[in-house]
Amino acid sequence: MSESPLKVSLERDGMLLRLTLARPKANIVDAAMIAALRSALSEHLPKPKLRAVLLSAEGPHFSFGASVEEHMPDCCADMLKGLHALVLQLVESPVPVLVAIKGQCLGGGLEVAAAGHLLFAAPGAMMGQPEIKLAVFAPAASCLLPERIGQAQAEDLLFSGRSITAEEALRIGLVTAVAEDPDQAALDYFDKHLATVSASTLRFAVKAARGDAMQRIRAKITAVEKMYLEELMATHDAVEGLKAFVEKRQAVWQDR
């Protein structure tokens, strides 16, 4: 049996669930990683003593994104459904999800991170949704980013596929803080602000803050997933872009 792609530990006397992506350097968000994250969240989120989740990664990068191979037409439906179930699990988490980001945080990796509540990034971190460059789009990010950073800022990232620095991400409100050690910054935040509050009341605060946003994201992600699978994947260019990436060649667009 292969080693788990995720390290799971309960820390701070069971008040903090630590989830660490453990397939450096890429930490690809593939089916195995998605399943491991969903399983850990399902097991631990209901624990009444829990006050937060800290999601971080081993190696120099948070994640290069989802598996492009799993985006191919014959398997993308299962991949998207799994990823979107994970994203909704994070969006609807009853406790705050703190995310520590370093290096590259791209594509499906940023979708997972953006589903959290408070993001802490290292000065050299870069964040982006490059899917458009492969002639596809980022379904979950299309639902998450407008909620987090506003429509205009979200459209810039989704349409251009460009990556932004941690500093720009801080300026537009995507991340909460930039720190040399984002893991420690997240832990410090937990110790200072979350460890001492009532766990039961904190759950009400999280639900109150995200209530209407959770409803909008859940409804939109269903519609966007349907568009991706039934309309986008029926186009020549979407399949061509993915194949060209896997085959390491220049894509040839037919604009259809």
pLDDT at 187 over 80: yes
- Interval 64-123: pLDDT, tens: 998 888 778 888 899 999 999 999 999 999 999 999 999 999 999 999 999 999 999 999
Round to whole Å and give the CA distance between 254 and 240.
9
pLDDT at 185 over 80: yes
* Lookup: tokens for 169: 């991400």
Interatomic CA distance for residues 170 and 185, integer angstroms: 14
Answer yes or no: are the C-beta atoms of 90 and 112 closer than 8 Å: yes
How much is the average pLDDT of 163-183? Answer: 98
Please give the pLDDT value at position 29: 96
Tokens for 94, please give them: 């009853």
1 burial class (0-12, 13-18, 19+ CB within 10 angstroms)? exposed
pLDDT tens-digit profile of 209-255? 999 999 999 999 999 999 999 999 999 999 999 999 989 999 999 99
Cut 0.85: pTM above it: yes
Instruction: Output the average pLDDT for the chain.
Output: 96
Instruction: Please say if the pLDDT value at position 1 is more than 60.
Output: no
